[in-house]
Structure 1
Amino acid sequence: MFIISTKTMLKKAQREGYAVPAFNIHNLETLQVVVETAAEMRAPLIVAGTPGTFSYAGVSNIVAIASELAKTWNHPLAIHLDHHEKTMDIEEKVRAGVRSVMIDGSHLPFADNITLVKNVTDYCHRYDVSVEAELGRLGGTGR
C-alpha cells in the first residue's frame, strides 16, 4: 500500500535520524507537484489538507489521486487532516483511507476539548490512524 500512516513514517525517521516534511495542499496541482518533487528527492512526505481543501477537491478524489501518484512514482506517502473540528467529518475521511488526523477543539472549553479528543482518538485507533490534538490556544500580542 502506498498510503501509509504517519506513525510508520515518523518511527522510521526517528530511528534513522531525519526529518519528514508536511506540505499543506490546496488543490490537485499542488498535490501533484509535492508528490513528484518528494519522489525525485527520495524524501518522505506527509500531504496535509484543511477542511476547505477536502471540501474543494473531495476526500475520495484526494485519496485516489494521492494513491495513484504514490504508485506512479513508487513513493509511499501519508495523508493528514489538518485542523479538523467535526467528528463526523473525520470519521468519513478515515473511512475513505486517510491515516493521520489533527483534531482541533481549541475553540471549546478545556473539558469539552478533552472529551472530543478522546472520542476521536478512540475511533481513529480502531483504524490504526495517528491522532494529533490542539488542546488550547497560545495568546498573541492582541494586535
Structure 2
Amino acid sequence: MTPTRKKRLLAVLLILIGVGIASALFLTAMSDNINLYKSPSDIAQGNYEEGRTFRIGGMVKKGSIVKSTTSLDVDFLVTDYAKDVKVHYTGLLPDLFRDDQGMVATGKLDAQGVFQAEEILAKHDENYMPPEVASSLKEKPQASDKHSDTTKQDEN
C-alpha cells in the first residue's frame, strides 16, 4: 500500500469511528429524554420501569383533589375508569385543571405507588383530549359512553 492510500484509509476510518461515536452519544441522549405514556391500568399491572420518568394520563377522578392550605402541594387520583393512581404534585396547577377533566402528568412512581408529578398538563377545551388519553379511554366501555364527544375529535 502506498503512503497516500494509507493516509486515505486512516482518514476514512477516523471519520467512520467519529460518526459512530457521535451516533451512539446522540441515541443515548435521546433515549433518556423519551417519556413513555402509561395509563393507570398499565401502572396497576406493573408495566413501567421503576425510577424512570414517564407520563401518566387519564381523567381527574371526581372529588379526589386535595389541596394543602399551607403549601402548593396537591394530591388527586387519575383514572381510566378501570384503575386509579394517586398523584402528588407541588406547584401551580393549570387554570383548566379540575375534577372529571383529561390530564397528562410527567414524573416518577415512588416506592409507595404514588406518582410524583413534575409537570401537569390539562386539556384545552371541551373537545380536546390528548391522543394517548383518548386511546386508553376508548378501551373502557364506561369511559367511552361518558366522554364520547371528546374521543370523536381525535378520530377526525
- Normalised TM-score (structure 2): 0.30
Q: Which has the higher contact order (CA 8 A, sep 6+)?
A: 1
Greater helix share, structure number? 1
Rg larger in structure: 2
Question: TM (normalized to structure 1)?
Answer: 0.32
Larger proportion of strand: 2
